[in-house]
Structure 1
Amino acid sequence: MKYQMYYEMMEQPEALRKTFASELDNMNNISKLAESVDTIYLIGCGSSISTCYSIRDALASVSHLRIEVFTGYEFVYNKKLNKGENSLFISTSQSGETADTLAALRKANEFNIDTVSISNEPDSSMVKEAKYPVITLGNTETAILGTKTYITQLACLYQILFAASGYEKANEILEELSTIPNLIEELLETTEEDNKRLAKEFKDEEIFYCLGSGVNFGLAYKLAMTMLMEGAIKHACPLYSAEFRHGLIERAEEGVPLIFLDADLESDKLTKIAINFSKNKLEAKTIIYSLKDYANINPLLAPFILVIPLEWFVYYLSHFNGEDPGSTRHIGKVRYE
């Protein structure tokens, strides 16, 4: 049986190609704006905020751009904004109607801040109300994991902000970014069976700890918060790899599943120490996704690669537990008053 998530996963490469064919000039113009501002605000919720974390942490290691990440209502309640301040607001949302993100966009507009919205829905409120809309061409997604949305949003953020970063190797990053659709096509074919077997092995586990460093923390956040908890209906907790040595080291023990994302970044020195301790001292159930096993690409692009085997893992983890990986229990039904 194939669930809707399967078909949406398979459409990721083409969604990326169409988005860049349509929006590249638009994104280049936004990059010019980003070059001259004092602060860039990145706003999202759920899977969308995970893309904000990844680009923030990617650029923190190579650029002087000042980037602040907020969930929607955290931005709304931010008292540090000034009317007409020299900043750029970028919101990310699949539907373009996420209530808290939309409220943040409206606040930015009230403060006369230049606003950008990256959304998959061309007729959405965010696209209509942002000064500079960017439309990702993944068509409406019904599976909750939003595979096409994640990959296209992340690519748009990389394109816009690396082009504005002043990083001496930005052009190399962007050239490699253009190869991502082909790499994803290959990984969709080559990583399914291994992760199907892994999911069957771990189907009865009830909690997973997800650890990453640098750009991979954002992916660890997505893995825990929207892939495992929303898609596979498993408890999960995301952590920076360096936090392993604090609370988690007391709770991780034999039989506890820990998922590590390793890209051989400078900060992954601590990831490797944590992996070694987890495997050899604690004898925890240690699952390692290493970039080097999947692609020879700049480690700052690791989330684009590692998300594909993780999607297969969550897809089959859900399946082996009798769940549809695209359905939800409460999301879309619950409204906060």
Structure 2
Amino acid sequence: MAQVPAYTKAEEQLERIFEAFKEREIQRVFYVACGGSSALMYPSKYFLDRESKNITAEIYNSNEFIHRNPMSLGEKSLVILCSHKGKTPETTAAAKFAKAKGALVVSLMYVETAPLAEESDFIVNYSWISAGNMEPNPEIMNYAILYKLAMGLLYVKEGNRKYEKLVSSLQHLDTVFEKLMKTYAEKAKAYAKEVKDEKIIYTMASGSNYGMAYSFAICILMEMQWIHSHAIHAGEFFHGPFEILDENVPFILLMGLDETRPLEERALAFLEKHGKKNLVLDAKTFDLTGIDEEVRGYIAPLAINFVLRMYALALSKERNHPLETRRYMFKIPY
């Protein structure tokens, strides 16, 4: 039997989910996952917060989702979960918990069969490769699938046309990534040489970009490089964290194109005045040709994430510490 191309399979899976959206009332979306899978959900929640007239969205850690047991979780809920291999025990348990409450359960993973799939109403398979490589097929990467689910939901329920603009724009993302590769390849290597011996690096962003800062802090710097880090929300920077800043403290600031950009600009002004070891990745400088103006604020985190991956790879090579190296994860029970 001929293998179905990944893109075609994902599109068919999404179409079945959109049909399910038409058949039931949905008032609330719960994004449920752990670690990097959870961080990927921030842009989609931001989209729903900005665009939906009637549907609210929340992000939960898988384990806390069960223990907190939201009163609003029920038959009018959509629960979207993500686990790369579909084996995260907490996320699988959260899916089972949500189904027992009557929610529509949709799970993302890059494998076809897994415990999480067995507890879900629908699954979507996304494209994924190892941490040591750059990402292929951006239109079917996990963050793009999450956007398609959120924008598709509002297209079905509220007639929001951003879904069409997203689908059209994602077709140009490969070209955007190619240009970013050429622009940032050497810059990433130079930065890696500068910070390879740093013991701590903070990351900061706001709005739809915050999940990228969070993921880079906890998954790349802490998990994959064993460098102390913390993700700081740009709006919270001046409510305590800015006291840690001096000329010897490295900061990475992500600047997007959404409505919260003024928060990041304010943080940048302070970093430039009081810090020296600053890396600023500003989506305003990216060549986003082919990306519809109306969705550029939503697409920017995907481009920023791609650039961050370049920096992660360069840092791992400069430090001779592969991104796949673990001390505890996958090795000991916890």
TM-score exceeds 0.5: yes
Alignment partners' CA distance in 2, 1:142 and 1:292:
29
Distance 1:43 1:147, change over 3 A: farther
Name the structure 2 match of 1:4.
none
Matched-pair identity in %: 26
How far apart are the structure 2 equivalents of 1:294 and 1:34?
Answer: 35
Structure 2 equivalent of residue 215 of structure 1: 208
Equivalent in the alignment of 2:9: 22
CA contact 1:109–1:115 (8 Å) conserved in 2: yes
In the alignment, what sits opposite 2:167?
Answer: 174
What's the offset of the Cα at 1:86? Answer: 1.1
Taking CA–CA contacts closer than 8 Å with sequence separation of 6 or more, which of the two structures ends up with the larger relative contact order?
1
Distance 1:180 1:262, change over 3 A: same
Preserved contact between residue 144 and residue 328 of structure 1 (Cα < 8 Å): no
Q: 8 Å contact 2:201–2:251 — kept in the other structure? A: yes
Cα offsets for 1:254-282 (capped at 9, x unmatched): 121111111132211111111011112x1
Q: Distance in 2 between matches of 1:55 and 1:82?
A: 20
Tell me how far apart the structure 1 counterparts of residues 284 and 74 of structure 2 sit (CA, whole Å): 45
Residue correspondences, number: 317
Work out whether residues 91 and 101 of structure 1, in 8 Å CA contact, stay in contact via their aligned partners in 2: yes
2:126 is aligned with 1:110: no
Q: Residue 284 of structure 2: which of 292, 295, 303 is its match?
A: 292
* Worse-matched range after superposition: 22-31 or 119-128: 22-31
Q: Residue 187 of structure 1: SS of its match in structure 2?
A: helix
The unaligned stretches of length 5 or more in structure 1 are 1-16
TM-score (norm 2): 0.87
Cα displacement (A) at 1:123: 1.7
Determine the C-alpha separation between the residues in 2 that align with 1:175 and 1:84: 34
Tell me the amino acid that sits aligned with residue 87 of structure 2: E
Distance 1:306 1:18, change over 3 A: farther
Alpha-carbon distance between aligned partners in 2 of 1:197 and 1:290, rounded to the nearest angstrom: 17
User: What's the CA shift for 1:34?
Assistant: 4.4
Please point out which of 27, 31, 44 is paired with 1:55.
44
TM-score (ref. length: structure 1):
0.86
Name which of structure 1's ranges 191-200 and 24-33 shifts more when overlaid on structure 2: 24-33
- Aligned-partner residue type, residue 104 of structure 1: A
CA distance in 1, matches of 2:168, 2:230: 34
1:35-114 → structure 2 map (5 Å cutoff): 36-64=25-53, 65-81=55-71, 84-114=74-104
Match of 1:322, as an amino acid?
N
Q: Give yes or no for contact 1:231–1:325 (8 Å, CA) kept in 2.
A: yes
Q: Are the counterparts in 2 of residues 209 and 258 from structure 1 also a CA contact under 8 Å? A: yes
Instruction: Give the alignment of 1:113-132 within 5 angstroms.
Output: 113-132=103-122
Matches within 5 A, 1:170-319: 170-280=163-273, 282-296=274-288, 297=291, 298-319=296-317
Give the distance between the partners of 1:312 and 1:192, measured in 2 at CA.
Answer: 7
Once residues 305 and 119 of structure 1 are traced to their aligned partners in structure 2, the CA distance between those partners, rounded to angstroms, is 21
With 79-88 and 152-161 compared, the bigger mean Cα shift is at: 79-88
What is the letter of the counterpart of residue 124 of structure 2? V
CA deviations 1:122-167 (Å, max 9, x no partner) are 12111232111111243xx554899569971111110111122243
